[in-house]
Structure formats: C-alpha cells, structure tokens
Structure 1
Amino acid sequence: MAFFKFNNIRVAGIACAVPMNKVKTESYKSLFGDEEVVKFMAMTGVKESRRTSEFQTCSDLGYRAAKELLAKKGIAAEEIGALLFVSHSPDYRRPSTAFVLQYRLGIPKEAVCYDISLGCSSLVVGMQTVASIMNTSDIKKALVVVGDTAGKSVYPTDRSSAMLFGEAGAVMLLEKTSNVKDEICALVRSDGSGYRYMIIPGGGYRNLHASEEVVMCEDGNERTLMNSFIQGTSVFTFTIFDVPRLIKDFLTQTKTTPDDFDCFAFHQANLYILKQIAKKTKIDFERMPITLDRYGNTSGASAIVSLCDRYGKDDERKVIKVMACGFGIGISLGITAFEIDTDDILPIYEDNEIFEEGLITNPNQLYEKK
C-alpha cells in the first residue's frame, strides 16, 4: 500500500484561476439537439464551463493563481525551494512547463523544478511528491501547480466530451513548520491496465505523425487520433468500484470516519458519479462542494476550484479538515487529508492573459538578440 504520512508540513495556501470565456451547455442544442443536451446536463450536472482562448494555457492560469497567493501570503519568490507542474496540458512537448513558471515567477535557480504528467489525480500526487522532497531536504516552501486545458483536445462533435470539460489552473503552497501536529496523509494507487480508457493516441513519440483523418468511432462520435478518447463504460465501472474502495482503505489506515472531515473536495468527474461515491462511502453530500454546474470538469484543478468556490469569499475564519480525492486518466487514483485555515483559501480569479514571450510562431524567434 502506497500510504504516505508527513509531519511538520502544512498546506499554507491555495488559489486558482479560470478563463473569462463562459460556454453555456445549452448552446450545444443546435449541434446535438435538445433531448441530448438536457439528458447530458441531468447526468453530469454541467450547465456552464470555462474555456481558454487559442494561445492561453493552464500555466497562464496557474501563474495568475501563484502570483495572487504569494502576494496574499507576503512570500517572496526567492523563498520557494521547489515548483512542480503536474498536468497533461504542458506549454510545449519540451522543455517542462515548470521551468517556464520558474522563470515567470522569479523563483531562484537553486530551486528544484520539473513536470509530472498526470491529469485528474495531479493534486494528490503533486502534494505527495513535494512533501516527500521537503521531508528529505532543507526546502521550507514549495509550490504545486495543477490544471488542464482538456477542451483543446476534444473533437468538436464528440458528445461524450465536448460539453463536459472546463479549464482552470490552480496552485497549492506547502510549508515546513515546527508544529508536529501539522500533518498530511496520502494514499496513491495506479492501474496501468486502463491506460487506453482515456487517451490521446496520436502526437506523442509512439505515433508522432498520426493521421488526422476523421473516423466514426464505435460509440457514434467522430474523432481523429489527435483527439481525446474516453471509454465511458470502463471509466464508469472504475470510478464506482475503485474510488469507494480507495476512500474506505484510507479511512481505515488513518483511523478516521467521514464525520471527522469538514469538506470533501473531490475531482468533479460528473454529478451522478459523485453522488454514487458519496452514497457508497457514507459521505455527507452536503459537505462535498460541487462546481461542475459553473466550471465543468476541471481535471486536476477540481479540488482547489471547489475549495476556492466554497471558502474563498467566506468572512468566517476557521481551520477546516479536508479530504481531497482525484481519480481518472492513467488510471491513477489518489486521496489526501490535510487541515487549512480558510483565510488561506483565495477566491476564484478570472484571467485571459497569455505569456506573450512564450508564443513562438517562427523558429527565428528562438535566437537571442544581441
């Protein structure tokens, strides 16, 4: 069992940003028909989502969130000893987007920076990785930046995905403390046998120059090899059985019950799945913030988006105990528990800015000008 427990490390703050562009789910009625869209909204709970512009990335949104968080906390970029970017939506195939964020934020050269390629479980795995680094080093403060722009890889007429995804960037600040009661626990699992359940088959180094011919797939949706494929039945089965098992094992390992938690910040897969998970684990659904209706499925940023939505504008300052859970593409599952002061939870920011310097449309832009 890959169970992790870290003392003297706390979650010192979270923030997120979403694009300003709103997409109403009802706007798809002209494409898919009234009945299909109404049925989709009832099942998933998605009534509206946010989408980035052509050249905006989740690192742009993560940058805005990180800037706001560091400013709120009064922390200089020079104090950050590690930055991990955990996402399936990098700025480039290479280099790692973490280096771009290091440069933009002004984080020192002494810091450790790298990417981890993960989607829906990115927050939990990112936390666990950074906490492990901090636990065995002299690093006192670190950032985990997560998020995805999954909508960019969806074929426009794919009914299974076109209306589902929202886009966001989020950041978490971890900090070493002298208080032994500051504790983070995490349980992580992986099942590579499901690597085909959610996949973009083309564009990687297995099939770099994949055909972009449009194919009618067995589920009745058109796609190319450069688009997202989701095997709905397999994903549903995995979430309904494996995720509740993960939660129950975590509760057993930590000797806790659902009543010990104030908030369940779960990956916003879809509304029906979340209700089923809550029912199977006896989690009070009222303590599970839902943001699907306004922001869609925001992948690895889901948990932070949900926390910022519920507590970001709350004037009542208190310490809450959070269970966060991410599950999906990989297949990867992760669950974590931590405490956070609601004063360290920032509201959701809207942003349309892009990193103009990073927009390279001609190779000659790469040469340094003297």
Structure 2
Amino acid sequence: MARFKFDNIKISGIASAVPTKIIKSTDYNERFGEDAVQKFVDMTGVKEHRESLLHQTASDFGYAAAEKLLTEKNIDRETIGVLLFGAHSTDYRRPATACVLHKRLGLSRECVAFDVGLGCSAFVYCVQIAASLLECSQEKRALIIVGETMTKMINPEDKSAAMLFGDGGAAVLLEKAEDSCIEGKLCSDGTGYRAIIAPAGGFRNLEDSHEPMVWADGSTRTLYNTNMNGTDVFSFTVTKVPKTIKEFLSETEQDVTQFDCLAFHQANQFIHQQLAKKLKADINKMPLCLDRYGNTSAPAIPILLSDAYGNDRTGQKLNVLMCGFGVGLSWGVMSAHINTDDILPIIETDELFEEGVIHSPEDMQ
C-alpha cells in the first residue's frame, strides 16, 4: 500500500460543474414500476441526477470548472506546471484528453499534461501524482481536472444503474505553500477488475454485438454498457475501505473525531451509513450530495465539497478526510486542510467544445 506525505503543498482551490438537465428518479416510475423506484430511492438516497448533452463530455465540465477557478483566483496560467485529467470518460481513444484541455485552457508549453485512467478513486490518486511532480520539480502549481459522463455508459433499461449515476466535473488547484500538509494512502486489488466493467469498446474487445442482453442480476445491458456486480462492490466497500481508513488514521496518529468533514465518495446512502458505523464516525460530519447529483464517480469528492462549502466565505480552515473507492478495484484515503474561501459553488453549464466534435475529414480542416 502506497503511503504518501507532502509537506508544504496545499489544496488552494476547488471548483465544480454539472449539466443543467435534471433527471428525477420518479421519471422512471413507468419504466421500472413505482414501488421499485421508491425502493431504490430509499436505499441509495438518489432522488435525481444530472445528464449531459449528446456531445458534451467530462472535459467540458472540467474545463468550465477550471476556467472559473483560474479566473476567480486570478491565477497566471504560465505558472501551471502540471495538468492531470482523471477519468474513464475521455474525449477520444487518442489523444489524451489532458492535451485537449491544455489547448483550451491556454497553458504553457512547459506544462506537463497527461491522463490518469481511473474512476471513483481518481481524485485521491491524482492529488498524489500531482503533488509528487511538484515536489520533485521547480513547478509551483498543478491543476487537477476530474470528470465523468457516466450516463453515456449506462443502459436506460438497467434498473440497477440508470437512476444511480450522474455527470459532472471538477478542477482542483495544488500549490507549494509553507506550513501545509497532504498525506494519504493508496490501494488496489486487481482481482476485482470485473466488479465494475464495460467489457466491449476497448482494444481487448473492440467490436462486439450491440444487442441488449439480460445479465445475471436481471438487468438489461449491452457489452458496451457499464456492468456492476453490486454484491462484490458492496462487500469490498464495507470491508477493505474502512480497514484502510483505520490503518491510515493509526499510522498518522489521527482520530476520526479530529476532522471537520469526512468527504467520502458518493456511492450510495446505504454504503455511506455503513462506513459511518464501521468508523464510529459522526454522520453529521459526512455530507451527502448524491441525492441531487447521483454517483458522479471521479469528481464526486470535489463536487461534494463545492456543494457543502461553496457558499461559505467565513475563511474557515477545514480539516478534511477524503476517501475515493470503486472501479478497478481501486481506493485511496487522504487528509488535508482546506480553507472554505478556496471552495467555489457548483456551476451549471450546457457549453461544449464544438471544435472537438469531428464527424468527417472536413471537420479536421
């Protein structure tokens, strides 16, 4: 397990963006039945989620968030030395979406830019990677962009997932700063790679049938849709995740009661409650936003912080414990102090990168 600690690096800005289109869980009453929908809402807590437009991508939300963050904080773009894009919802199979964002944001040619292909743990992993690059270089600032458009990967007839996932993105700024500290722990278990998987469309299985199939859980999906083994994911989440959090707290001589906020991945309400129970944590310190945004995967933690503190301008210095977990299987936990003045409220956007929509050779001209 990879432990990390970075002195003199801080999270100095957070901004988040979501689509304007709202899909309510009750919109599925006719498709899945009112009783089934209510049971889903009671268990997961998801009452609605956001859905992106046809050609709108995760990078569009990350770009909107990054523009807001850099403008609001009056950041000189020439000082951004690292740009990471953490997601599975990339713009293209190639090039890296980070390079597209590099162009759109007008960053320096001296800036490192690359993708990190992770989902629910992407934010924690990206913080570790970006902080490492800052620590071993002369660069002063790193920009992390995380996002997903999960609704594009879900079959609308999949009763286990159609109401659960939502779209969105976030941008997070790291800076070198005195008397700051970010520390954490990263873990992986590749034996669970099938627990959350879209089997077709990658280079292992590039072209396969698009026919809908009934899977073991009774839900209908194609091989190109995301398939989630709920039992395996739940078991992993309520055993390995709290175990790692407890180990991290013990190793860093911290206690869960010391934190002002426990910003955990927004998987579902029931898992949230189970984690609070296993950690003996005050659930009032574990905010939720999945009731309005659903499970957004990679950007879930910064979206949560923007939702909970985006309008707080009291300058409160929060001691935050963050944990992302899911597809891979991959998970990570970290702690950091974040000033509420550095957390911007969630913005809504329908904007997309029109130049990036390519249908023919003529569009490349």
Counterparts of 2:277 and 2:230, CA distance in 1: 21
The offset of 1:364, in angstroms, is: 2.9
- 2:100 is matched with 100
- Which region of structure 1 is more displaced relative to structure 2, 341-350 or 212-221? 212-221
- 2:246 is matched with 248
- 2:279 is matched with 281
Q: Deviations along 1:246-266, whole A, 9 cap, x unmatched? A: 110110111100111100111
Of 277, 290, 315, the residue aligned with 1:317 is 315
Counterparts of 2:296 and 2:287, CA distance in 1: 14
Of 330, 349, 358, the residue aligned with 1:332 is 330
Task: After TM superposition, list the pairs within 5 Å mapping 1:283-298 onto structure 2.
Answer: 283-298=281-296
The offset of 1:343, in angstroms, is: 0.3
Q: Deviations along 1:86-142, whole A, 9 cap, x unmatched? A: 101000010000000000000011100000100000000000000011110111001
The offset of 1:363, in angstroms, is: 2.4
- After superposition, the CA RMSD in angstroms is 0.8
- 2:347 is matched with 349
The offset of 1:316, in angstroms, is: 2.0
Task: After TM superposition, list the pairs within 5 Å mapping 1:1-370 onto structure 2.
Answer: 1-177=1-177, 179=178, 181-367=179-365
Structure 2 gap ranges (5+): none
Counterparts of 1:74 and 1:218, CA distance in 2: 52
Amino acid at match of 2:127: M
Structure 1 gap ranges (5+): none
Counterparts of 1:322 and 1:167, CA distance in 2: 24
Amino acid at match of 1:91: D
The offset of 1:278, in angstroms, is: 0.8
Counterparts of 2:216 and 2:338, CA distance in 1: 46
Counterparts of 2:328 and 2:109, CA distance in 1: 32
Instruction: Say which SS state the counterpart of residue 166 (structure 2) adopts.
Output: coil
Q: Deviations along 1:205-246, whole A, 9 cap, x unmatched? A: 001011112111121111111111001110110001011101
Counterparts of 1:71 and 1:54, CA distance in 2: 28
Q: Deviations along 1:17-43, whole A, 9 cap, x unmatched? A: 000000010010010001100000000
Counterparts of 1:129 and 1:101, CA distance in 2: 18
Instruction: Say which SS state the counterpart of residue 313 (structure 1) adopts.
Output: coil
Instruction: Say which SS state the counterpart of residue 308 (structure 2) adopts.
Output: helix
Count of residue pairs brought into register by the alignment = 365
Counterparts of 2:12 and 2:141, CA distance in 1: 9
Q: Deviations along 1:284-327, whole A, 9 cap, x unmatched? A: 11011100111100111111111111110123221111111000
State the TM-score, normalized to the length of structure 2.
0.99
The offset of 1:361, in angstroms, is: 1.0
Amino acid at match of 2:30: S
Instruction: Say which SS state the counterpart of residue 143 (structure 1) adopts.
Output: strand
State the TM-score, normalized to the length of structure 1.
0.98
Amino acid at match of 2:214: M
